[in-house]
Amino acid sequence: MQIQVGKGPWASEVSGIVKIGQTMTMVLAIKDVENKFDMMVRNCIAHDGKRAPIELVDSQGCIVRPKLMSRFTKVKNFGSSASVLAFAHFQAFKFPDSMDVHFQCTIQICRPHCPEQCAAANPGIGHQITPNHDLYSAGSAHGSVVRPREERDVSQKSQLEPIVEEMTEIGLNKVIRVVSTGDLAFAEPPSQEQSTSDFESYESDDVICMSTPGFAASLIVLLSVLVVSCLVAAFLCLRQKSPRDIITTISGTIIKKK
């Protein structure tokens, strides 16, 4: 399974982020050297890994959302890369609050041929036998049943539907990242004017500006508090000592000076 950028199936595979609304191609293929198998795409859904998925292709291979995705086109003998290939175009879309888009599809591999894609939507293909009241003619009210019509319907149905000997199903998935215009605007770096204004607002919020007289007054107050604190600390230290210790200290100082 591949998701290609542009109109495929010869476009390049997605390798990065794509913009919403961009033309994309979903490609599913099988490679069979003997060319004995066929394939049909069924049950395709898309989701973001969080919300409920949306259905893109139903179990009959019919496109559920034709505004999002085109019908699948089948190509057989697609060179050496694939024996059978089916592709459909769609517009890139995304889910709210998520850039990841997960695609999950089931391919039905048949031998020798698969039913036509969305065969139930085509007249005469994939339809069941009509109800019993349609199999009776106007004379059925009198008890006469028209058996040839029923046999003819069954024979036509068997001729139109391909004979499938073997079938198997394989699940495939792919993830792409899609961004919208709002996401791109959010990711762009700010301009020089915007960055300058943001820097100015940042400065005005975190930096405190003071006038010169105010700064001088604050400095004087802080110094006064520091001096008073030192005096109080010295007074408390002297008060803790006894008078004898003070006299001894003073006497020792006088003797040393002599």
3-state SS string for the chain: CEEEECCCCCCEECCCEEECCCEEEEEEEECCCCCCCEEEEEEEEEECCCCCCEEEECCCCCECCCCCECCCEEEEEECCCEEEEEEEEEECCCECCECEEEEEEEEEEEEECCCCCCHHHCCCCCCCCCCHHHCCCHHHHHCCCCHHHHHHHHHHHHHHCCCEEEEEEEEEEEEEEEECHHHHHHHCCCCHHHHHHHHHHHHHHHCCCCCHHHHHHHHHHHHHHHHHHHHHHHHHHHHHCCHHHHHHHHHHHHHHHC
Say yes or no to pLDDT of 92 above 90.
yes
Write down the pLDDT at residue 180. 85
Q: Of residues 182 and 115, which shows the higher confidence score?
A: 115
Percent of residues, the chain, with pLDDT higher than 90? 37
CA separation for the pair 83, 101 (Å, rounded): 28
- What the block records as the tokens of 11 is 């476009």
Say yes or no to pLDDT of 61 above 60.
yes
The single residue listed with the structure tokens 């998520």 is 98
Write down the pLDDT at residue 239. 79
Rounded average pLDDT over 95-100 = 89
CA separation for the pair 248, 28 (Å, rounded): 106
Number of neighbours of residue 157 by Cβ within 10 angstroms? 15
The single-letter code of the amino acid at 115 is P
Say yes or no to pLDDT of 255 above 50.
yes
- What the block records as the tokens of 175 is 């993830």
Write down the pLDDT at residue 144. 37
Rounded average pLDDT over 55-63 = 93
Write down the pLDDT at residue 152. 46
The single residue listed with the structure tokens 């792409």 is 176
Question: Per the confidence metrics, is the pTM higher than 0.75?
Answer: no
Quickly state the pLDDT bin for 91 (edges 50, 70, 90).
very high
Quickly state the pLDDT bin for 242 (edges 50, 70, 90).
low
Q: Of residues 118 and 54, which shows the higher confidence score?
A: 54
Say yes or no to pLDDT of 122 above 90.
no
Say yes or no to pLDDT of 133 above 80.
no
The single residue listed with the structure tokens 């898309």 is 46
Say yes or no to pLDDT of 231 above 50.
yes
Write down the pLDDT at residue 234. 87
Residues in Cβ contact with 178 at an 8 Å cutoff, skipping those fewer than 6 apart? 17, 18, 19, 20, 92, 93, 94, 99, 101
- What the block records as the tokens of 125 is 């293909």
Burial class of residue 70, CB neighbours in 10 A (0-12, 13-18, 19+): middle
Using alpha carbons only, how large is the chain's radius of gyration in Å? 43
Residues in Cβ contact with 103 at an 8 Å cutoff, skipping those fewer than 6 apart? 1, 3, 26, 44, 45, 46, 56, 173, 174, 175, 176
Mean pLDDT for all residues in the chain: 75
Q: Of residues 238 and 153, which shows the higher confidence score?
A: 238
